[in-house]
Chains A and B, each alone.
Chain A
């Protein structure tokens, strides 16, 4: 038996999926920054976090990644996708690009993805829970109801988020996320 017949294989890259995830992380990161100024719930959640809070959300093993952190004056900032020597206090690692696709194409909610062991969290658990709640609120603002229902654990009722607040917030968040 000629063993040379069985070659060494170097798996390829999933470039299109990586680009899609990178764009989604950029949009979500910018939207979190915008929502922290617009929505009172997001503001409250961030207020409870330490001032050195820095989140790294990335796809194992080669990215893409998203860094969100709090500045010294307590403002929330999207820090970009490149590691510029940040010291994340909370790292959320998605185990592979396919798991990230399930999450960011809203076929699986964050809660379900966590339950199915697709995420590895390194950091304080209360911080991670707070961030998941923030992510849920941001998704409610960014996505139409029919899609957001799939992405969040419980879609907020009228009493929790009035349509006027939701639509106004959505416009402001979109404008802020894509402009400055």
Chain B
């Protein structure tokens, strides 16, 4: 008998590892596409990632409809309209996004516009009821969370739909090893927060837990050495894989308190969501440990393995899992401050953030948001 009632959907196919980029033509063809629009940012173009992508498509029947390497840091309706026009004029039939954060959000928004044959403002109010155009995501290691999830963010709206998952996620060391230590730290903390929030809910989902635990395992195992050496192939691939797993787990769980607050603060302050999440996660874990809720003993199994799990007494497993997580977060201390105060966020704004978060995500009360923020502002 299945112990739980649950639903789970993971649409993307993950192709990871050595020469993974070269599978893009094969995957595109299996999705009935042959003319992709490639979107990336200038930052990655300067690091010659576009060249790597184009070379990976050599010796195939694919023609690149357009190679757009000027995606801005924030997705705006202007850029989405320009790219939609480019897509239509070149008769493209698919989209490949190389990058993270805004690049992927722009690509998803363009996909909505060209698939629904409307503009981005109308897209925000429409329900997606059919699959979109084929979309391949090639993430870099500076993920901000949500790139590989069933959601898209554009300007002031966030859209969630099962059809917003990428069709294929391609994780190649030639792409992932170009991030800096700070970007790796941000990516890992975002994934860590999403994974912990996804597996800490009251109604457990065993398949979702498997994804979240995989993400936690990868991060715990690879974060310390990848922060020291971000160009490490194995490490950077593992961190991006963790981000993919965490994003899928995040898509199948209700939005957590950390994500809600961090997205509002990041939007207001322009700090990376990972930085905010790292600070809030530390405080949130402490509160969870005190109430013995939200940290399940199985977390220890995912983090430390069967030997440590079996050796640890049943009533101590949550505390040991907490210690492991704090140890993991501490490896990013060089890049991520421990309190919101050190991040120069004004104390006066905390109430405003709590109010906004409570309006956005009603699963938690304003008081709970305010309490978490107050504790995170000056570490308690």
Contacts and interface: CB of A to CB of B under 8 A. Distances in A.
Contact of A11 (B26, B29, B54): B54
Contact of B67 (A7, A18, A62): A7
A60 interface: yes
A105 interface: no
B155 to A, nearest CB: 18
Contact of A96 (B26, B64, B67): B26
Contacts of A7: 66-67
Which applies to chain B's interface (DSSP): helix, strand, loop or mixed?
mixed
Contacts of B66: 3, 6-8
A61 interface: yes
Contacts of B25: 61, 96
Given A11-B58, A14-B58, A116-B17, A6 B68 contact: yes
A96 B15 CA distance: 14
For chain A, which range describes its interface: under 10, 10 to 19, 20 to 34, or 35 or more residues? Answer: 20 to 34
B61 A61 contact: yes
A97 B67 CA distance: 23
Nearest to A93: B26
A1 interface: yes
Interface in A1-56: 1, 3, 6-14, 17-18
A130 interface: no
Contacts, number: 73
A12 B64 CA distance: 11
Given A3-B85, A3-B89, A61-B29, A8 B63 contact: yes
A95 interface: yes
A99 interface: yes
Interface size class of B (residues with CB under 8 A): 20 to 34
B16 to A, nearest CB: 10
A81 to B, nearest CB: 16
Interface in B43-74: 54-70
Interface in A79-118: 95-99, 102, 116-117
B90 interface: yes
A8 B54 contact: no
A102 B23 CA distance: 14
The 8 closest A-B CB pairs, nearest first, are A9-B64, A96-B22, A11-B57, A98-B22, A14-B59, A6-B66, A3-B86, A98-B19
